[in-house]
Amino acid sequence: MGSGACFCLDCQASNGGAPAYAAVHQKSDFLLEKGEPKVYWSQSETGNRIGRAFCADCGASIYGINESRPDYLPITASALDDNSDFKVMALSWVSTAKPWHTLDSNIPAFEKNIPSE
The architecture of the domain spanning 2-96 is Beta Complex (2.170)
pLDDT score of 117: 61
CA–CA distance, 90 with 109 (Å, rounded to integer) = 6
| Domains of the chain, residue spans | 2-96
Report yes or no: 53 and 37 within 8 Å, Cβ to Cβ: yes
- How many CB atoms neighbour CB 54 within 10 A? 19
**Average pLDDT in the 1-16 region?**
91
- Neighbour-count burial of 71, counting CB atoms closer than 10 A to its CB (0-12 exposed, 13-18 middle, 19+ buried): exposed
DSSP for 37-102 reads -EEEEEE-TTS-EEEEEE-TTT--EEEEEETTSTTEEEEEGGGSS--TT----EEE-GGG--TTS-
Give the model confidence (pLDDT) of 60-104 as tens digits: 999 999 999 999 999 999 998 889 999 999 999 999 999 999 999
pTM: 0.89
**Average pLDDT in the 30-41 region?**
92
Our CA dihedral for 32, 33, 34, 39, rounded to 10 degrees, sits at -10
